Structures are given as structure tokens and as C-alpha cells.
Amino acid sequence: MDKIQLSLLEQVADLHEVPEGAYSLRIDGVLYGKRSSENIEIVKKEDKPGIDIIIKPGTKNESVHIPVLLSQTGLKELVYNDFHIGEGADVTIVAGCGIHNGGDGDAEHSGIHSFFVGKNARVKYIEKHYGEGDGNGKNIMNPETVVEIDEGGYMEMQTAQIKGVDSTCRKTTARLKKDATLIVHEKLMTHGEQFAETEFEIDLDGENSGTHVVSRSVARDHSRQKFLSNIRGNNRCSGHTECDAIIMDNASVIAIPEILANHVDASLIHEAAIGKIAGEQLIKLMTLGLTEKEAEEAIVNGFLK
């Protein structure tokens, strides 16, 4: 790996080198390296780009890292990663994509991640997106996540896109069985002329299934954001979707939360709020000695922490 790639790796996965344990590292459109562990098998797909990650039932406290780095301008790829999480497993999966685009061609990574969460399994999925480079080419990422959670399963998704991605269209669809839970924490910041669209479509099919989707975003400069969330309660279930956006400068944000109850015991709530930083928040931090700019940064950083 060269310096640029190592720095991208640090940005998206907090890693300084190839990680310990099971991993798969994809650089510039090819599989750079992978390692399976005793309980986590990583298999390269033969029919299309991507990997299968197979986690044995009962695997506890293990993690998998699957970062993707792009440092060539003009490179476009579509990758399929399938995660099979065995019954009763408890694992952490760290994904992420970093693009350094120093040229004039667009660099684009689209990943379709499918999760099959087994009975009573628990997964924490962390995904960071980051872009950089001073070329005119755009950094584009279009992640799609498809989740199926079996009875009693639990998945927590933490996604963050804080810097440098010019255009993103993120789609997450999920289907939950009895007693299954899906928690989503999304953090997003757009600046410059960026555009980000994020869409959630969640079917609560099983009795006592539940979901909590929380999106916090900051839109600066001339950037535009669109948030769509659709939770369908098809059984006795609970669903909550919350979109909270700070708008700055000349940005534009649209939030469209939608909830649909197909069952009398479906309890669904949606909340959406968009607003600029409150003047009194700035004043409070200024009375602590921060300049207006520092106060703004502190508020934004806290909000997206």
C-alpha cells in the first residue's frame, strides 16, 4: 500500500495496517488481500465481483474488516458482499470506502451488501465513507444494504459520511421476523456542491419486531440532501424514525418520513426536524470564549459525534 492508500485506510477503518483477524481489503477494483479465521470464512465470489462472509453459528466477540479503497481516477466498480451470520453469533463488521481522486475522471464505488442475520444473532455493522483529492473528477458512492433478520436477531448499523463524497445515493431495505430488532444511526455531512440521498425501507413482519432509525445530518454551502424513510408495521411491532438536520449557508434539505400500519398493534412514530443552528447556542459557546466560527464547529461536531 502507498501513503495515500494507508491514509484512506485510516480514515475509513481506523486502521494503520492490514487488520488482525478476518478481513478482506479491496484496492482499486481488485481484491488486495483476505484472511479467514477459524469462525469467519471469507470466500471470493466466482460469478461477480465481491465476497461471501460466512460466520459460524455461536461465534462470539469477533470482528471482520472489509474496507474498500479507490485511489485511481476514472475507476468505476460494483461489488456484491453477502454476510451470512450464523445462529446465536455476536460479531462486529467494519466496512468502509475511501476514495482519493486526484484526476479528472469520476471515481465510483457501488456496493450491495446483503445481511442474513440468523436466529438470535447480534451484529454491529459500522460503515464509514470518505472522499478526498483535488482533481475535478467526482467521488461517487452508492451503497445499498439489504437486511433480513431472523427470529430474535439484532442488528445495529452505524453509518457515517462526513467528508469528500460528491454524490451518494444510499438505500437500505430490511425485513424483520419475530422479535427481531434493527437500529440505525446515520451521520451525514455534505458541503460544497455535494448531493446525498438516503432511503430506508423497513418491513416489520414479525410479532414484536422493532426498529429505530435515527439520522443526523448537516448540510453546508450549496449542498443538497434528501432523506426518505418508510417503515411498514405488518404485525404487532414498534417503529420509530427520526431525521434531524442542521441546515447552513445555502444548502437544501428535504425529509420525507413515511409510516404505514397494516396491523392494529403496530406502533409507529416519525419525527423530522430541519433548522439552522440556534442563535442562543452560538451565544452560549461564545460566552465560554469561543469565536462564532469555533462555536459553530463545536456544535456541528457534537451533533455528528
Partner 1 sequence: MLELRNVSYRVENTEILKDINLKIDDRFVAITGPNGSGKSTLAKVIAGIFVPTSGQILLDGEDITNLSITERANMGVSFAFQQPVRFKGLTVKDMISMAAGEKLSISTACTYLSEVGLCAKDYINREINASLSGGELKRIEIAMINARGTKLSIFDEPEAGIDLWSFNNLIRVFEKMHERTHGTILIISHQERILDIADKVIVLVDGRVDTYGAKEKVLPGLLNVNAGCRFTKGE
Cβ atoms of 51 and 66 closer than 8 Å: yes
CB of 191 to partner 1, least distance (A): 18
Cβ atoms of 154 and 125 closer than 8 Å: no
CB of 130 to partner 1, least distance (A): 20
Cβ atoms of 111 and 97 closer than 8 Å: yes
Q: Which of 89/160 has CB closer to partner 1?
A: 160
CB of 85 to partner 1, least distance (A): 30
CB of 286 to partner 1, least distance (A): 4
CA angle 237, 239, 241 (to 5 degrees): 175
Cβ atoms of 192 and 165 closer than 8 Å: no
CB of 216 to partner 1, least distance (A): 8
CB of 281 to partner 1, least distance (A): 5
The cell 464547529 sits on which residue?
297
What DSSP element (H or E) covers 243? strand 237-247
Q: Which of 269/278 has CB closer to partner 1?
A: 278
The C-alpha R_g of the chain, in whole angstroms, comes to 20
C-alpha distances in Å from residue 196, one per residue of 41, 159, 286: 33, 13, 31
Q: Which of 36/281 has CB closer to partner 1?
A: 281
C-alpha distances in Å from residue 116, one per residue of 54, 169, 171, 218, 247: 10, 22, 17, 32, 36
Query: Interface residues with partner 1 (CB under 8 A)?
Result: 216, 244, 278, 280-281, 283-292, 298-299, 301-305
Q: Which of 104/292 has CB closer to partner 1?
A: 292
How many C-alpha atoms does 166 have within 13 Å on its Cβ side?
Answer: 18
CB of 64 to partner 1, least distance (A): 29
Q: Could you give phi then psi for residue 245, rounded to 5 degrees? A: -125, 140
DSSP output for 150-169: -TT-EEEEEEEEEE--SEEE
